[in-house]
Structure 1
């Protein structure tokens, strides 16, 4: 006798779903803590798939000014596969974020679905991580200092220039929850980076800077504070930083494809987003 799958329902995701959402991510070896899920839901919105009284799927999105959004934390439990749940989740998400350009980072398995729904690849992200064994030598040519509350507007302006999006709520939350360094040059701030608790240890990102040497100095300094800790950083392939990160002791362990549904954000050529906050938040 063949079991007939129980009907599923897609509902707005709430804090009541978080324990089961955490279990879903643990089942596929994603390193999210419950705190990471809480922050992601607080900053964004999305959907849960309920089937037989159980949460078997999730999808979240985060709105950025003026009309962009990133998409992530899309999971469908193994036992709920091949029921059309992934396609229905994407339809619900696209309807909810209607009118916005959507950006996501896709595994090879997800690309077929996303291409079918109008996403086009435009970059890739390399995932680097390891228990950091040693700190690198600081670059004396780059002046770094801890960020202060007075730097907020400058940080937001640099982040908008580098990402092409207004991400005020995200940046404010990351600054509150992490350690932030800025690059100071000629009396102004030309870059910033954040390290914070996340997943198995810490994550370095976002990192935004006006020159590669500034970004490298920020990454090295932030990582150096966590020798002996599991350190992760996700960098755009187009930055060419992967070889340097390998030399830092952070090998590349994964690659995802960055895709947009609509035109990707237009970034300031003078400033570059080198490292992401994470693959979902951008």
Structure 2
């Protein structure tokens, strides 16, 4: 039975946790997205999920996840509304609730073309764009001659230090989960110093490259090439379009653009950190 707008507006928002993983994956599938259970597990463990239960007992009516980086930034991702409740103000209501919970904390997100008008109406501003590219890495042409090796436990503190420097905020809860979450974790090294790192984690039939943090484009290329050599799956990654050299190289090596998303921010003029060395996020859902 359809729910009236008044009744929808009165349904309570609740916190989600890892016990809600399958319900979140079901909602992804309902909207034509991949189930991405592996990614949902990370997001619900490292972040805070919010959702509204379907009053008919049919799973979640809507959900999202917020990854906090302290008082200076939080990222919103995986905003989903069940198809039968689409265009009824449910997503806007959930977003307003999350914004109230965030208070003065700046909020970031990646918006699809369909979702961007909603976020603009809520005070988010486009600050850039990201290209999602996917394909089998061909490895044509020379790879930069930069030393890349598998990361070890001894590298963790240096990886955390470098990530904090380049991302601009502490994301220890995410980075320390990478060894268990990713199938492959690589570091680039020069004179025994780590100059970049990247992970490849399983997502359906692909390996997602992210995060991709590197001193320069050549280092980013060497990290991607090393990860590609470790898998037979297609690669997928989300690259800030300002990194034109890296994007061009990826396309020369067989990856093609499959989506273009807006990078959006609310209550701050710009993201912290160094965008010139931040090539790809761990996942757009976590900023």
TM-score normalised by length of structure 1? 0.91
1:171 to 171, 175, 197: 175
Aligned length: 278
Q: Does 2:105 match 1:85?
A: no
| Larger CA deviation: 121-130 vs 258-267 | 258-267
Matched with 2:229 is 224
Q: Aligned pair in 2 of structure 1 residues 155, 133: CA closer, same or farther (>3 Å)?
A: closer
- In structure 2, what is the Cα distance between the partners aligned to 1:124 and 1:133? 23
Q: Is the 8 A contact 1:136 1:224 kept in 2?
A: no
Match of 1:210 among 209, 215, 218: 215
Aligned to 1:267: 273
SS of corresponding position for 2:198: strand
CA-to-aligned-CA distance 1:175-195 (integer Å, 9 cap, x gap): 332221111113311111111
* Distance in 2 separating the partners of 1:197 and 1:275: 16
Of 12, 18, 22, 2:25 maps to 22
Whether 2:49 is the aligned partner of 1:46: answer yes
Using the alignment, how far apart are the partners of 2:255 and 2:112 within structure 1? 21
Question: What does residue 31 of structure 1 align with?
Answer: 34
Q: Indicate which of 188, 192, 195 corresponds to 2:193.
A: 188
**CA distance in 2: counterparts of 1:182 and 1:126, whole angstroms:** 24
Instruction: Quickly say closer, same or farther: Cα 1:139–1:128, change in 2 above 3 A.
Output: same
1:100 to 2:134 alignment = no
The one-character-per-residue Cα deviations of 1:11-63 (angstroms, maximum 9, x if unpaired) are: 22234432222121113332243232122101111211222223111111001
Deviations 1:208-232 (A, max 9, x none): 01111000111111122113x1321
Does structure 2 retain, via aligned residues, the 8 Å contact 1:71–1:104? yes
Unpaired stretches in structure 2, ≥5 consecutive residues = none
Q: Which residue of 1 aligns with 2:155?
A: 151
Does the 8 Å contact 1:165/1:265 carry over to 2? no
Q: Which residue of 1 aligns with 2:76?
A: 71
Aligned to 1:253: 258
User: What corresponds to 2:62 in structure 1?
Assistant: 57
In the other structure, the counterpart of 1:160 is: 164
Q: Does 1:197 align with 2:202?
A: yes
Q: Give 3-state SS (helix, strand or coil) of 1:277's partner.
A: coil
Task: Report the alpha carbon displacement of residue 260 of structure 1 after superposing the two structures with TM.
Answer: 0.7
User: After the TM superposition, which of the residue ranges 259-268 and 81-90 deviates more from structure 2?
Assistant: 259-268
Stretches of structure 1 that go unaligned for 5 or more consecutive residues are none
Secondary structure of the residue that 2:13 maps to in structure 1? strand
Bigger drift between 6-15 and 117-126 goes to 6-15
**How many Å separate the matches in 1 of 2:197 and 2:19?**
35
CA RMSD, aligned part only?
2.0
Structure-1 separation of matches of 2:284 and 2:82: 20
